[in-house]
Structures are given as structure tokens and as C-alpha cells.
Amino acid sequence: MQEHHVRRNLLALVGDFVFFSIGFAFYDPVVIVPAFVKEFTGSSLLIGALSALRILMITVPQIWAASFLVAQPRKKPLLVWSTFGGRFPILFLALATLLWTRNHVWLTMAVLTLSVAIFYTSEALNSVSWPALVGKVVPDKIRGRFFGAGQLFSSLGAAIAGIVVSRILAKDGAALPERWALLFGIGFVGLMISLVTMFFIREEAEDKTPGKTDIRHGLRMMLHYLRTDASLRRAVITQIVLWTAGAASPFFIVRARESFVGNDAIIGALLTTQSIGGVAAALICGQLVDRVGSWAAIRLGAITQTVSLLAVILAGVLGAPTVFYFTAFFLMGFVAASLWWSFSAYLLDIADNEQRPIYLATSGILSSVTILNPLIVGALFETLPPETVFVLMAALSMGGIALAWRLRKGSRISE
């Protein structure tokens, strides 16, 4: 029986959570890869192309993953093979960076492009298979605390990894391929340790015969659930609205730097405060999901995000930026560290084991439109006063609160 392996599965999944975060910090295609490309090519076009490739590859394969999983008795095999295939090319990237970057930089960039495409294809598949597996092997009564513990330890691990990254990149010297190869190599090791932990997960087979993958059937199921399940529709719409409003969060630091000109020490303190907010979210929201419900954690996240936006507005209006910016950064860290898995927990709650892959893919594909929101919000900051943009985003976030209050609550579907 699946419940006989709960402790083993929790340890394995938390290990995966933590080592993935550590490894990702050394390879992060959103932070590390653009800096690497800029240092050796100076090409903003390539950075943009890699970003577009990431968006495409993390979205499209999700419907295939969902269609495949609904026809299989186990989720773990897809997770393991996808993870291996997606992460192993990072080793070749590390070697290419070391051997070719000085004299054949575009060969390295070709390997980089291929590794990013394969990695995010893998992550698209994992974004369905991993939470579906969690929903199956982690009992609903402790699922929130699992997400909270995973977030807590992975945040601490990623923070330490960030320090190591800074130390490696701070070494004297111009563009040195060796230090970037070292980053990618360490990232590969961390991500592969994450893979190793997956082998310790025990998943009982469901009572079904492996069937053929039918993507058209998966799409029909997705449309069917959207039409017939108001809870799914509300969850997706709420997620899109809140993540759109949250696109203003990266501009908090821009406004803070304008308020604290010449005082970079306080900027560092604000970022530390953001990390503390993430720790608080891991401790609070895990308990909230288990003791009250995932819907309550989403409501808290919506309120917290709105208050963080209001704090940034008040910092400019009242001319007392310090207390308001520290409040905003603490709350921003809280939201960033909790809202995504609160929504994941909610989808696992409203769907049964058979429905979960389709529900997760539906949410992932439809909410992927929010990836473009930072560009839209950035354009708004270019044309409107910053306070006006923050007011608009705060109003949208209030709309997210109203939507969150309509999410279904009460007892979970039995496992």
C-alpha cells in the first residue's frame, strides 16, 4: 500500500526539492545563462532568443505529458527519464565552455541553445509528472507541510549556492571560460543528485494497463474539464490575474534604488528581508494548507501581494521609504515563496488521481501567457509614472483577492 512508504517518499522528495534548487542556482537560464551570453558574445538578440525558446519549450510539451500519464499506471518513470534526458546535456555545456569558448565561442553557444531547449522540455514534462506524483504519494493531510519544508530547505540551499556563485564570478580576470565551466559543472552535479533522490521514491502501480498516448484525447479532456469544473476555471483565472499583478514586483528594487541613492548597503538589507519573507511563507503556508486548506493559502498570498504593492505606493507618497520598502520586500518574498505551490496544492485537492495530470497541464499552459507580463509592465513603466503603474497593479491584485474568495473550500476529495 502507498501509505507504507510515506516517510521514505517525503525524504526523497524533499531531497529532490533541495538539490534541484541548489543545482539550478548554478545554471539558472533566467539569470546565469544571460550573463554568460552577454560576457562572451554581447548579443542581446541571442539572450532574447533563448528566453523565447524557454517559454516555448516549457509550455508545449505539457499536454503530451498529461496525455501520456493518464494512460500509465505510474508517474515516476516519466519523471526519472525526463529528468535524466533534460539535465545530462549540462555536462556537455560545461565541457564545451571549457574547451571551445576562447576560440570557437559560437560552438559553445550552439551547445548552450541545445541544452536550454532540452532542459526546459524536460521541465515542461516534470511540471506535470512531479506534482502528479506528489499528489499520489504524499497524503493530503501533510501535503502543505511537505511543500513548506521543501520550500524552506531549498531556499536556504539556494541562498548558500548564490553566495558560492558570487564568489566564483568575483574572481579577478576578464572573461574566463573556466569559471563559467565550473558553474555549469557544479550545477550539473546538484541537478543529478536531485535525480538520484528520485530513485528512492516508492510508487505503487495503479490498476490500469499502459495505454497509447492520445494528445487529441488529452486536449478534449482539458476542454471538457474547463467547461464542466468551475473550480478549475476559477483557479486558472485567479492565477493569471495574481501573476499579472505580481509582474510589478521586479520593479520594487528599481524604485528602492531611486529612493536610497548612494546607499547600496540598504539594498542588500532589502534583499535579505525578501529572503526572510520566503522563510516565513514556508513556515506559515504549509501549516495553513494542512490545517485550513490550500484555498486559504491562496487568499493569504493574494492579500499579501496587494499589501506589498500598497507599501511601495505609500513609500513614494508619504516620503518615508524605509519602513514601507522593508515591508514590501518582506511580503514580496512571502508571495514568491508560497503562491506557486499553494496553487499546485489546490489543483491536487480539487482533482482526483486520474484528473490531476490534465488539471496540472491545463493550469500550466493557460497561465504561461503571464510570462510576457514583465515586458508589458516594463512598457507601462516607460510611458506612465511609476506610482500610476503600481496603483494599477494593486487594483488588479485586489481583483485577484475577490477571485480567490470564490475558490472552492471545504473537505478535500478523498485519495
Rounded to an integer, the average pLDDT of 202-212 is 86
Is the residue at 352 inside a domain? Answer: yes
Q: What is the pLDDT of residues 80-109, one digit of tens each?
A: 999 999 999 999 999 999 999 999 999 999
Which pLDDT value is given to residue 265?
A: 60
Q: What's the Cα-to-Cα distance from 120 to each of 55, 85, 126, 162, 394, rounded to whole Å?
A: 8, 11, 9, 21, 32
What is the percent of the chain where pLDDT is above 90?
57
Q: What is the SS3 assignment for 201?
A: coil
Interatomic CA distance for residues 247 and 61, integer angstroms: 25
Domain around 390: 215-404
Q: Do 157 and 261 share a domain, yes or no? A: no
Is the residue at 174 inside a domain? Answer: yes
Is the residue at 190 inside a domain? Answer: yes
- Residue 339: partners with Cβ closer than 8 Å, 6 or more residues away: 242, 246, 298, 301, 305
Q: What's the Cα-to-Cα distance from 67 to each of 64, 211, 215, 383, rounded to whole Å?
A: 5, 10, 5, 43
Query: Of 167, 198, 229, at which residue does a domain stop?
Result: 198
Give the residue among 247, 236, 175 at the shortest CA–CA distance from 366: 236
Is the residue at 282 inside a domain? Answer: yes
Our count of domains for the chain comes to 2
Which pLDDT value is given to residue 81?
A: 97
Q: Do 32 and 144 share a domain, yes or no? A: yes
Query: Of 145, 173, 198, at which residue does a domain stop?
Result: 198
Q: What is the pLDDT of residues 107-124, one digit of tens each?
A: 999 999 999 999 999 999
Q: Do 159 and 219 share a domain, yes or no? A: no
Is the residue at 93 inside a domain? Answer: yes
pLDDT at 387 over 80: yes
Q: Do 104 and 248 share a domain, yes or no? A: no
Give the residue among 65, 61, 89 at the shortest CA–CA distance from 192: 89
Q: Do 277 and 362 share a domain, yes or no? A: yes
Q: Do 229 and 343 share a domain, yes or no? A: yes
Rounded to an integer, the average pLDDT of 53-68 is 89
Which pLDDT value is given to residue 411?
A: 47
- Residue 49: partners with Cβ closer than 8 Å, 6 or more residues away: 113
Is the residue at 412 inside a domain? Answer: no
Q: What is the SS3 assignment for 164?
A: helix
Q: Do 366 and 223 share a domain, yes or no? A: yes
What is the DSSP track for 247-297?
A: GGGGGHHHHHHHHTTT-HHHHHHHHHHHHHHHHHHHHHHHHHHHHT-HHHH
Give the residue among 399, 400, 394 at the shortest CA–CA distance from 339: 400
HSE-up (13 A, CA, CB side) for residue 362: 27
Rounded to an integer, the average pLDDT of 299-320 is 90
Q: What is the pLDDT of residues 327-377, one digit of tens each?
A: 998 998 899 889 989 999 999 999 998 899 999 999 998 988 877 787 788
Nine-digit cell at 339? 503562491
Q: Do 44 and 76 share a domain, yes or no? A: yes
The pTM score is 0.85
Is the residue at 208 inside a domain? Answer: no
- Out of 30-44, 126-140, 219-233, 385-399, pick the least confident: 30-44
276 CB-contact burial (10 Å; exposed 0-12 / middle 13-18 / buried 19+): middle
Q: CB–CB of 325/338 below 8 Å?
A: no
Rounded to an integer, the average pLDDT of 316-325 is 78
Q: Do 251 and 379 share a domain, yes or no? A: yes
Which pLDDT value is given to residue 413?
A: 45
Q: Which residue has the higher pLDDT, 108 or 258?
A: 108
Q: Which residue has the higher pLDDT, 125 or 3?
A: 125
Is the residue at 210 inside a domain? Answer: no
Nine-digit cell at 296? 486559504
Report the helix count and the strand count for the chain, using DSSP H and E. Answer: 18, 0
Q: Do 170 and 266 share a domain, yes or no? A: no
Q: Do 93 and 143 share a domain, yes or no? A: yes
Query: Of 198, 228, 255, at which residue does a domain stop?
Result: 198
pLDDT at 248 over 50: yes
CATH code at position 51: 1.20.1250.20
Q: Do 158 and 292 share a domain, yes or no? A: no
Give the residue among 206, 58, 234, 63 at the shortest CA–CA distance from 135: 206
